[in-house]
Chain A
Amino acid sequence: MAVSRKAAAVRLNVERVVLPNGLVVLVSENHSTPSMSISAIVRAGSRFESDGEAGLASLAAELIEEGTTTRTSQQIAEAIDATGGHMMTFGDYQSSRLAVVSLSKDFNLGLDLASDLLMNAVFPDDKVRQQVDRRVAQLKSRLDVPRTQASDLFNEIVFKGTPQHRPAVGYEATVAAVSRPAVDQFYRRYYVSNNTVLAIAGDVDTRETVARVESALGKWPRTGGFVSPDVPCPRLGGEPVEKYATALKEQVNIFMGHVGIERKDPDYHALLVMDTILGSSPGFTSRIPRVLRDEQGLAYSTYANVTSSSGLDPGRFVAYIGTAPSNLDRARAGLRSEIERIVEGGVTQEELDTAKSYLTGSFVLRFQRNGQVAEFMLEAETYDLGFDYLEKYPELIRALTVEEVNRVTRKHIHPERLTTVVVGPVDDAGHVIKTEKEFYE
């Protein structure tokens, strides 16, 4: 088959400016379509919450668009909708986010709204109440998805004792207890200029954009002596656990794994190659989808990876499969055996070459939309990748050897420490409850 070994070049000009108040501004100009994307990241998330406050950060993030000192919730919604654009605010484990996507001619309005929300949110009492009630209901709906339920349960066990054990959206009881003053306090403490990065990508003029950002956000006061709180770091350790939770569903959902790595881990790129070989390539070329789906027909969805959840804190190494209850034992054994095989037997030169071709050749596909470009700039800023990462990345991947990949696999992946969570029609001991037939009889 014809294979091109050289990678298509990705070119991206990024302008990085730090305003006197500490706000980092990143701009990448391109005129492919008459549209643009503004993304702000406030470096605060559920990792700064206590257990009793679970859900607070993400509620604060959602609530910044429910009113400012000069605009009501309704006026904010009308303003963005009238342009035909979209605005989203949300919070996750390590960040609070705001994104505006609009036609480029509406850039000024988008920036005005974004700035207003970042600096002047007021959290009206009734809106806080309304959002809390809605979140409580959403949490019930969320657990209606067995895969999410299983993933949450896995995190509760593997990240026990650290903030990452909690879902960023919180629990019903903690969310119900969130008060307006708590939201306001979180906002005042963390939504500050020197804890925020703003990335703008698309059909804009770089110089003009920087000037406009200065005029819109330059007045945002810096918080002297701002420091991020320390976050307890998850550690690999303790005895592996097997946990079964009953949900009368058609499939069993299995998560298997342990604590993973930070994004800044020097082994990141070698593990990216391992992920590509073990369980996260396109199509069904990697081992787990190829064997468990393509050959054995056990699942529609099955994968494994350690790099995709890596962040400021270590993420998780996880293997997943969703399958009919009658396949439970085979599926679980299949995942385990592929994990053991890559640790004990390593990867082949051919697998490494294929993974390298894929990772270097597909890199260009990650920069097609303004939102993707903005996302890359934020990622590069968060993890000090440097904006020349586009040139460095292919070199980092190409330099890897079989020995290196095998070494980091043995270092980071531990078959003897795999925690397994199963959610589905099983009892506490893992025996399948017979419901499948009933459904069709």
Chain B
Amino acid sequence: MTATTSISGVEAATDTPPFITRGVRKLVLPNRLTVITKEVHDKPVVATMIWYRVGSRNEDLGQTGKSHFLEHMLFKGTDRYPKGVIDLTTQLNGGMNNAFTWLDFTAYYFSFAADRWQTALEIESSRMRNTTFAEGEFASEKQVVEEELRIGLDGPWEVLENEVWATAFRQHPYHFPTVGWLQDLESATAADMKAYYDRWYHPRNATLVIVGDFDTRDALARVEDLFGSIPDGPEPKPLQIVEPPQRGEKRVIVKKETPVERLLIGYHAPAVAHPDSYPLRVAEAVLSTGKSSRLYQRLVDQDKSITSVNASYHDHIDPSLFYFQAELKPGFELRQVELAIYDEIERVKHADLSTAELAKAKRLIEADLVLSNEEPLQQAMLLGQYETIAADERIPEGSRGFRYLDTMLDRINEVTVDEVASSARRYFTEDNRTVGYLVDDATGRAHPADAKEDDGGS
């Protein structure tokens, strides 16, 4: 055995950091580029990521979807890597690459065999400031992004999620779907995209993460060569949009032709590293991780009313939603399933968790940190994500940035049954929730050709 992590539910902080942050080093270059390295030699592979702290959270009305569209444009050519050459270089070196954009960030990644991984650094240093935004490339890529958006429109969950988030957040930009609204995409120009790029893609707004089989000293020297001379860039204006407290339940119904109805209940919930976020994370595991979880036992095994259920609570820079999703079996009522979920939430509020259940939830969280992160790329994702989203000064210094992962398990292990109950009482309230129903719109089905005239009828 090389490493053992504490997995007892009650043990205090261990002397060694958890496996995920063991051996991690952080350096900030003079131009404010943050560099995180984790040298591990057990697999001949290196994962390289770059994270920019910009996502749909930073977008404005009429200009949504830009962060994501920009991510696409970063594959369309730089001064040194003409169109197609980033992918071709990756392929010739037997690597893989991709990127993703979400509410708070845009991130790019490469995995390469260890003897050629620095290709990733060369590409990222070039496209940080030297993406070309050729007009012709822009037009065809816009169509690609629109197709991506259409896939979402055909996905029943995506449609319902968009509606619930847009309803729950009326001021904060978590209102916008990351892919954007179709009309905003259609009106976007290459110049808009370039301006957005010039605003956000700079060393001071970026974190470079390297995990795997490399030599740290060599790697840092190469990073300095390639990134050191890039100007730090403008100070990003801090975004201070606070969603006001919700005053009363919001309900939304989405009609879509579908054979199965779906339910989504979202509660406003605190931001990453907030003291209440830890008991809520335990509540998430108690309610929905594994077949012994409360919602599975209740809805799948006992009521037999659904095909699937889960609770999700993701860490974000700003307060977001703790949400519940259920897909119904035909013949069951949305309202009935909704009430059953409230019933289970009430039990948690009344502190009826056993110590064994609490310990199980903690173990699930702790084990997941190991089991979901065997691969260098997975580790790079986690380190980069927290360095990007947990940067706020309100977060204690020892838990800030990727250090969040140092202390997260300790915080989780300290959580008591009463804290789970009190945080459930604080956030899982009627006034704080938005409930979405996806119901079958049968109007189009009877006469597909006349769908337009059937609007509203049945």
Task: Tell yes or no: A385 within 8 A of B by CB.
Answer: no
Q: Contact: A250 with B154, CB < 8 Å?
A: yes
Answer whether residue A77 sits at the interface, using C-beta atoms and an 8 A cutoff: yes
- Interchain CA distance A78-B292 in the complex, whole Å: 5
Does A81 lie at the interface of the complex (its beta carbon under 8 Å from any beta carbon of B)? Answer: yes
Chain B residues 349-369 with CB under 8 Å of chain A are: 356, 359-360, 363-368
Structural contact, A357 and B150, CB atoms closer than 8 A: no
Contacts of B150 in A (CB 8 A): 250-251, 322, 324
Question: Chain B interface: which of A32-40, A42-50, A306-314, A400-408?
Answer: A32-40
Within the complex, what minimum Cβ distance (angstroms) separates A4 from chain B? 4
Residue of A nearest to B136 (CB): A295
A40 to B96, CA, bound (A): 29
Known: A7-B94, A145-B155, A433-B449. A33 touches B147 (CB 8 A): no
Contact with A along B417-458 (1 / 0, CB 8 A): 000000000000000000000000000110011011000000
Chain A neighbourhood of B374, CB < 8 A: 32-33, 35, 368-370
Task: Tell me whether A297 and B360 are in contact in the complex, defined as CB-CB below 8 angstroms, given that A8-B115, A83-B367, A283-B91 are known contacts.
Answer: no
Task: Give chain A residues whose Cβ lies under 8 Å from the Cβ of B145.
Answer: 300
Q: For B449, what are the chain A residues with a Cβ–Cβ distance below 8 Å?
A: 427, 433
Contact with A along B146-172 (1 / 0, CB 8 A): 111011011110000000000000000
Complex Cα–Cα for A317 and B337 (A): 43
Binds B, one of A51-59, A100-108, A156-164: A100-108
Whole-angstrom distance between the alpha carbons of A1 and B297 in the complex? 56
Distance (whole angstroms) from the CB of A275 to the closest CB of chain B: 13
Q: How far is the CB of B205 from chain A (nearest CB, A)?
A: 25
Write the chain A residue with the least CB distance to B75. Answer: A283
Shortest Cβ distance from residue B295 to the other chain A in the assembled complex, whole angstroms: 13
On whether the beta carbons of B375 and A77 are closer than 8 Å, the reply is no
A174 contacts chain B at the CB level, 8 A cutoff: no
Q: How many residues of B contact A (CB 8 A)?
A: 96
Contact A84–B140 (Cβ < 8 Å): no
Interface string of B329-365 (1 = CB under 8 A from A): 1100000000000000000000000001001100111
Interchain CA distance A111-B436 in the complex, whole Å: 42
Query: What residues of A have a CB within 8 angstroms of the CB of B111 in the complex?
Result: 365
* Interface hits, A96-135 → B, CB 8 Å: 101-105, 130, 133-134
Q: Per a CB cutoff under 8 Å, which of B7, B144, B328 touches A103?
A: B7
Residues of A within 8 A of B330 (CB): 137, 140
Is A4 in contact with B116, judged by CB distance below 8 angstroms? Answer: yes
Nearest residue (CB) in B for A283 is B87
Q: B259 near A: Cβ within 8 Å?
A: yes
- Say yes or no: B97 contacts A130, CB within 8 Å: no
A84 touches B366 (CB 8 A): yes
Q: Contact: B144 with A31, CB < 8 Å? A: no
CB distance from B274 to the nearest CB of A (A): 24
Q: Is the CB of A285 within 8 A of B91?
A: yes
In the complex, chain A residues whose CB is within 8 Å of the CB of B112: 361
Quick check: is B143 within 8 A (CB to CB) of the other chain? Answer: yes
The yes or no answer to B30 lying at the interface (CB within 8 A) is no
Contact: A140 with B448, CB < 8 Å? Answer: no
Asked whether A31 and B289 contact (CB < 8 A) given A282-B95, A284-B87, A290-B84, the answer is: no
User: Which one of B1, B328, B367 lies within 8 Å of A102 (CB-CB)?
Assistant: B367
Q: A31-B2, A35-B370 are contacts. A439–B87 as well, Cβ < 8 Å?
A: no
What is the 8 Å Cβ interface bit string for chain B, positions 106-121, against chain A (1 contact, 0 not)?
A: 0000011111100100
Check: A30 CB closer than 8 A to any chain B CB: yes
The verdict on B240 contacting chain A, using a C-beta distance below 8 Å, is: no
A361 touching B45, Cβ below 8 Å: no
Whether A300 touches B259, Cβ cut-off 8 Å, given contacts A1-B85, A6-B115, A283-B87, is no
Contact with A along B80-101 (1 / 0, CB 8 A): 0001111111111111111000
**Quick check: is B192 within 8 A (CB to CB) of the other chain?**
no
Contacts known (A34-B2, A284-B84); A297 close to B142, Cβ less than 8 A: yes
Chain A: how many interface residues by the 8 Å CB criterion?
89
CB 8 Å contact bits of B359-403 with A (1 = contact, 0 = none): 110011111101101111100000000000000000000000000
Q: Within the complex, what minimum Cβ distance (angstroms) separates B4 from chain A?
A: 6
Q: Is the CB of A365 within 8 A of B2?
A: no
B140 CB, min distance to chain A CBs, angstroms: 3
The yes or no answer to A391 lying at the interface (CB within 8 A) is no
B147 and A30 within 8 A (CB)? no
* Alpha-carbon distance A103/B372, docked complex (angstroms): 11
Residues on the A chain within 8 Å of B142, using CB: 297
Q: A77-B291, A103-B367, A368-B376 are in contact. Are A323 and B43 (CB under 8 A)?
A: no
Q: How far is the CA of A425 from the CA of B300 in the complex (A)?
A: 34
CB atoms of A141 and B2 under 8 A apart: no
Partner of A365, one of B45, B92, B122, B144: B45
A30–chain B nearest beta-carbon distance, Å: 7
Q: Which of A10, A33, A140, A301 contacts B19 (CB 8 A)?
A: A33
Name the residue among B92, B289, B290, B364 with the largest chain A CB count within 10 angstroms.
Answer: B92
Give A425 to B451 CA distance when docked, in angstroms: 11
Complex Cα distance, B303 from A130, in Å, reads 10
Complex Cα gap A359–B229 (Å): 35
Cβ < 8 Å to B, chain A residues 241-273: 246, 248-251
Q: Identify B329's interface contact among A134, A354, A367, CB under 8 A.
A: A134
* Contacts A33-B19, A297-B142, A358-B94; A81 near B259 (Cβ below 8 A): no
| A82 and B122 alpha carbons, distance in the complex (Å) | 45
Residues 277-295 of B, flagged 1 when their CB comes within 8 A of A and 0 if not, give: 0000000000001111100
B258 CB within 8 Å of chain A = yes
A183–B359 CA distance with the chains assembled, in angstroms: 36
Whether B257 is near chain A, meaning CB under 8 Å from some CB there, is yes
A251 touches B151 (CB 8 A): yes
Taking a contact as CB atoms under 8 Å apart, the answer to whether B148 and A300 are in contact is yes
With both beta carbons as reference points, the residue of chain A lying nearest to B377 in the complex is identified as: A368
Is the Cβ of B363 less than 8 Å from the Cβ of A84?
A: yes
Contacts A32-B2, A133-B304, A362-B95; A297 near B45 (Cβ below 8 A) = no
**Could you list 9 examples of A-B contacts with CB < 8 Å?**
A7-B113, A81-B292, A85-B367, A101-B371, A134-B304, A299-B144, A362-B95, A362-B96, A439-B153
A interface residues, Cβ below 8 angstroms from B: 1-4, 6-10, 30-35, 65, 73-74, 77-78, 80-86, 101-105, 130, 133-134, 137-138, 140-141, 143-146, 203, 246, 248-251, 281-285, 290, 293-301, 322-324, 354, 357-365, 367-370, 425, 427, 433-435, 438-440
Other than the given A86-B290, A357-B92, A362-B96, 17 more pairs (CB < 8 A) read: A31-B1, A32-B43, A33-B3, A105-B4, A143-B259, A144-B156, A283-B86, A285-B88, A297-B142, A298-B147, A300-B145, A361-B95, A363-B94, A364-B44, A365-B45, A368-B43, A368-B375
Q: Which residues of B does A touch, CB under 8 Å?
A: 1-5, 7, 19, 40, 42-45, 75, 83-98, 111-116, 119, 122, 139-148, 150-151, 153-156, 182-183, 257-260, 289-293, 296-297, 300-301, 304, 307, 327-330, 356, 359-360, 363-368, 370-371, 373-377, 444-445, 448-449, 451-452
Q: Which are the 6 A-B pairs with shortest beta-carbon distances? A: A361-B94, A84-B367, A283-B87, A297-B143, A8-B113, A297-B140
